[in-house]
């Protein structure tokens, strides 16, 4: 269906769409209180206002959301690789089980990056032994999922690595953290170069159960690189703490520990103190 035909239906009052292929331009329009399910989009949405719009099991790969305004909108189980959110105004956005490889996010108004344009983290959910973490930086928006089935608290290991970077006087330092994605693995390599941090995210070449238990050097296990980011230690640490504080405030310690491991209160407090003492 051409975008113009869809707009005609929308203006006639139809709000729900299922199983449609849509292509063309939907530019500077207003989409409100709508649901798209099992739809394929090849659309330029530039300048469009989204309010109370739900996308469910949709393919939005490489769609343009430049200069859009997005509020109270949800993307559930969607393919969004290569989408462009340059200069979008985004507020109250829900992302559940979406793919975001090579997504472009720029400008100052993306809510998750508002306090730090360089890097941001968002813990989407913690439930039934799964920990869903998003990393936002420049053009990247990477989902990193971790399972507890191998008794590996990877998110806590990132906190411990940041603490180690502050406490170590060594100018150059490398650390690797494995996020078990059952059965696969995502590897986060963190490289300290004085006060700077390089973050490399890659797929693992082997399944999680075959990874070494001691994460000493995992370069030979790193496969396809999803992101290569340069920031500084303070910015990454503050962004990571912010994500933890937000999820713990939202669900509480009891709920966190019911679905994951013990809450990393000690590490969070220690990292906060190290940031204060090193400013």
List pLDDT tens digits, range 138-181. 667 888 999 999 999 999 999 999 999 999 988 889 999 999 99
Nearest of 103, 58, 111, 59 to residue 85 by alpha carbon = 103
> What does the pLDDT read at residue 82?
83
* DSSP-derived 3-state class of residue 95: strand
Q: Where in the chain do CATH 2.160.20.80 domains reside?
A: 3-114
User: For a pLDDT cut of 90, what percent of the chain falls above it?
Assistant: 66
Pick the residue with more confidence: 256 or 182?
256
pLDDT digits (tens, 9 = 90+) for 118-135: 688 999 899 999 999 999
Hey, which residues does 24 pair with through a beta bridge? 43
> What does the pLDDT read at residue 138?
63
> What does the pLDDT read at residue 106?
58
pLDDT confidence bin for 101, thresholds 50/70/90: low
> What does the pLDDT read at residue 114?
35
Asked if residues 116 and 235 have their Cβ atoms less than 8 Å apart, the reply is yes
Pick the residue with more confidence: 272 or 96?
272
Count other C-beta atoms under 10 Å from residue 39's C-beta: 22
User: In this structure, what token pair is assigned to residue 148?
Assistant: 């507890």
Prior bond of 98 cis (ω within 30°) = no
Is CATH 2.160.20.80 correct for 3-114?
A: yes
> What does the pLDDT read at residue 2?
95
Pairing relationship of beta strands 16-18 and 130-137 according to DSSP bridges? unpaired
pLDDT confidence bin for 105, thresholds 50/70/90: low
Q: To 5 degrees, how large is the angle CA 47–CA 49–CA 51?
A: 160
Hey, which residues does 232 pair with through a beta bridge? 196
- Tell me how far the alpha carbon of residue 223 is from its chain's centroid: 20
> What does the pLDDT read at residue 169?
86
Residue range 18-42: average pLDDT? 96
pLDDT digits (tens, 9 = 90+) for 32-61: 999 999 999 999 999 999 999 999 999 999
């Amino acid at each position: 269906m051409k975008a113009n035909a869809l707009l005609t239906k929308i203006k006639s009052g139809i709000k729900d769409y299922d199983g449609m292929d849509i292509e063309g331009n939907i530019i500077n329009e207003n989409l409100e209180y709508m649901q798209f399910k099992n739809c394929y989009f090849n659309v330029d949405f530039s300048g469009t206002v989204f309010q109370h719009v739900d996308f469910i099991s949709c393919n939005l790969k490489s769609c343009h959301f430049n200069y859009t305004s997005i509020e109270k909108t949800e993307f559930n189980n969607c393919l969004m690789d290569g989408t462009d959110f340059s200069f979008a105004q985004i507020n109250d956005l829900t992302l559940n089980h979406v793919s975001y490889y090579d997504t472009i996010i720029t400008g100052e108004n993306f809510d998750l990056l508002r306090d730090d344009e360089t890097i941001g983290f968002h813990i989407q959910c913690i439930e039934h032994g799964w920990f869903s973490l998003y990393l936002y930086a420049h053009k990247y928006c990477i989902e990193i999922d971790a399972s507890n089935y191998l008794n590996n608290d990877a998110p806590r290991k990132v906190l411990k690595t940041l603490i180690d970077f502050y406490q170590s006087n060594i100018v150059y330092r490398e650390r690797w953290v494995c996020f078990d994605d059952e059965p696969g693995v995502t590897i986060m390599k963190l490289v300290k170069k004085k006060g700077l941090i390089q973050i490399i995210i890659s797929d693992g070449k082997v399944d999680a159960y075959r990874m070494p238990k001691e994460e000493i050097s995992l370069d030979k296990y790193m496969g396809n690189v999803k992101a290569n980011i340069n920031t500084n230690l303070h910015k990454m640490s503050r962004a990571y703490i912010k994500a933890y504080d937000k999820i713990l405030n939202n669900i509480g310690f009891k709920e966190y520990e019911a679905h994951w491991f013990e809450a990393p209160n000690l590490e969070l407090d220690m990292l906060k103190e190290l940031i204060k003492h090193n400013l």
